[in-house]
Chain A
Amino acid sequence: MSAEDSGVVKIALVSCGSEYAGVQPEFDEAAAKVNAKFVFPEIDVASIDTIGKEFGLEVASGDLRLMMARAKAVVEGTTNVDGVFITTCFRCAEGAIVRNEVRRYIHRHSNIPVISYSFTESTTAGTLLTRLEALTTIVRRRHLLTREIQKGITAGIDSGSTTTKAVVMKDNKIIGKGWVPTTKVLESAEEAYSQALKEAGISREEVQALGTTGYGRFLIGNHFKAQLIQEEITVNSKGAVYLADRQKGPATVIDIGGMDNKAISVEDGIPGMFTMGGICAGASGRFFEMISKRLGVDITELGALAVKGMHENVSMNSYCIVFGIQSLVNSLARGATPEDVAAAACYSVVEQIYEQQLQEVDVKEPLILVGGSSLIEGVPKALGKLLKIDVLVPENSHLIGAVGAALLASGYVEE
């Protein structure tokens, strides 16, 4: 019975012994919330002594070699699973090397979706939920994700941590938009949705299907009785390739949000590998808000300022939102220009994304940059310079989640 028939998604847990870190119940709780269960691929214990040579990566820890043996069992079909969750201890160098190579190995030899994560004893089910939700969606709703054209009248609401976005679409065109700061989740959603409906000249009753995404997706989804409530990884991948008109073939989507950011490797509009940042606000839109305030400019002016500056003229000794801004302030005191400081802020954010997230995602062109921060011109410029590739910022890139939700929701119009 397939995952779609039975409803339960089987995920292979490939870990270095998460049971010793006390996080196993959190893993299980997150899996249960998305109607998935972890399975442990069976292997011959003697193979742990030989798999290193066979795999080409000889490491000293038995559990890391066990991970390789389990990955092999998944790839060879000895264990049938719908997805794989690869996880090792945070701060373990040996673990990080194996985690990355095992992920690449599975990706190279199978079509099974994989997510990877490094845990601490403080990892909670909530942290893992969005990731597992995305993994199970790829398994369960592959048919929905193949949708490339929006049909009928649909709407999408993206309840983000900083701003709430809404769009109304009709026959593959955006006909109404709303964009408001998130204060009270429901009220902000109501306001953004009303703005979009007003611009579209359409009443709520005429909307045939609604999709919600973002941090507040469950709350607003239940409130508006949405047909689709979906996490951001899936929705943003779809929205990005749709808006950039790159629905076929490979693409990489980078979404710099208000509080976190995502790097997603996409194939035909379906997310493959992805990472979610969220430990440090220094790599998010919040950092831009704070530096704009300090420079005394509106955030919409920060990008133009940054394009004129040289980040090399400012030394930043921390990525931290507090100490990083302190560095920038000190540079201003030493006579740096606001242009250089704005450019350094943009470079700092993209450098963090490069160092902490893109290392775990195979970057394939086109690189599509989305999210509110993509509108700050200095950001795509810094990213392109760092990666030495052209960065594509589609029109309405800040509405990516709402557009993706409206597009996917149109699958429910025909149903």
Chain B
Amino acid sequence: MAKVFIYPINSLILSDLVERFGHKPLTMMSQIREKVTNISLDSPPINITSEDPKMGLKYAAIEVPAGVRGRMSLIGPLIEQTEAAIIVENPPTNFGCVGCNRTNELMKYLIRSKNVPILEVKYPESDEEARDFVNKIAEFLKSLPKEESEEGKEAHEEKSAEEEDKK
């Protein structure tokens, strides 16, 4: 199972496709879910406080707007875990969108800078293109290792050990 970064990072369709082929999609939804369920709700609606843009400084300098750094505080940790990526170019808004193009540029750059397999496809504009689009993604996902990577295994084992300790 590979951890697959998807762009747009909140695309339900891409996320579903990745899961169907037995991999783990890295999504904005999971990050926000964690934000709004794991800790007390200090800053509705998505519980990002003024501390989060500061955490985003790991990925972007202080002169980068707070909204970009706030988004990067959620997206950056996903990029760090990425083992493969699917980037869809020119998607319409309802396919997925984080709203800020500076963030889009930065996250795509960081993904491309990683030495991981990347599939870049254009958003389809006809039925034929749509079939081709899904086939390309399916083939890419099939080509990824089914087994958990060594890094992933280690992380998983560490987590299990921590859970055991808690018990």
Contacts and interface: CB of A to CB of B under 8 A. Distances in A.
Contact of B101 (A61, A120, A122): A61
Interface residues of B, number: 31
A24 B43 contact: yes
Contacts of A90: 65-66
Interface in A1-36: 16-25, 28
A63 B102 CA distance: 11
Interface stretch (A44-52, A257-265, A328-336, A393-401): A44-52
Contact of B99 (A22, A23, A61, A122): A61
Contacts of A63: 99-100
A20 B71 contact: yes
Contact of B65 (A59, A62, A65, A91): A91
Contacts of A120: 66
B53 A22 contact: yes
A71 interface: no
Interface in B17-68: 42-46, 48-54, 63-68
B66 A121 contact: yes
Interface residues of A, number: 33
Contact of B93 (A16, A25, A46, A122): A46
Contact of A17 (B43, B100, B104): B100
A17 B63 CA distance: 18
Nearest to B71: A20
Contact of A22 (B48, B97, B102): B48
Nearest to B43: A25
Contact of A25 (B44, B66, B68): B44
B88 to A, nearest CB: 14
A94 interface: yes
A65 B99 CA distance: 9
B42 A60 contact: no
B64 A19 contact: no
A117 interface: no
A23 B92 CA distance: 28
A13 to B, nearest CB: 11
A22 B74 CA distance: 12
Contacts of A66: 99
Given A20-B48, A66-B99, A121-B54, A49 B93 contact: yes
A19 B48 contact: yes
Interface string A45-80: 110110000000001111101100000000000000
Contacts of B76: none
B48 A92 contact: no
A61 B54 contact: no
B94 A20 contact: no
Interface in A391-413: none
Contacts of A92: 65, 67-68, 102
Interface string B127-154: 0000000000000000000000000000
B68 A89 contact: yes
A119 B50 CA distance: 11
Contacts of A23: 50, 66
A48 B50 contact: no
A95 interface: yes
Nearest to B94: A45
A304 B48 CA distance: 53
A18 B99 contact: no
A44 to B, nearest CB: 10
A114 B123 CA distance: 38
A82 to B, nearest CB: 22
A359 B42 CA distance: 36
B99 A62 contact: yes
Most buried by B among A66, A89, A91: A89
Residue among A49, A62, A120 with most chain B CB within 10 A: A62
A62 B67 contact: no
Contacts of A20: 46, 48, 52, 66-67, 70-71, 99-100
A22 B93 contact: no
A61 B100 contact: yes
A92 B54 CA distance: 17
Nearest to A26: B50
A65 B104 CA distance: 15
A46 B94 CA distance: 7
A24 to B, nearest CB: 6
A49 B51 contact: no
B58 to A, nearest CB: 15
A22 B94 contact: no
9 contacts: A18-B67, A20-B46, A22-B43, A24-B44, A25-B44, A46-B94, A48-B93, A91-B65, A122-B50
Given A19-B48, A121-B50, 6 more contacts: A16-B100, A19-B45, A21-B67, A22-B49, A48-B93, A121-B54
Smallest CB-CB A-B distances: 3 pairs: A63-B99, A89-B65, A60-B101
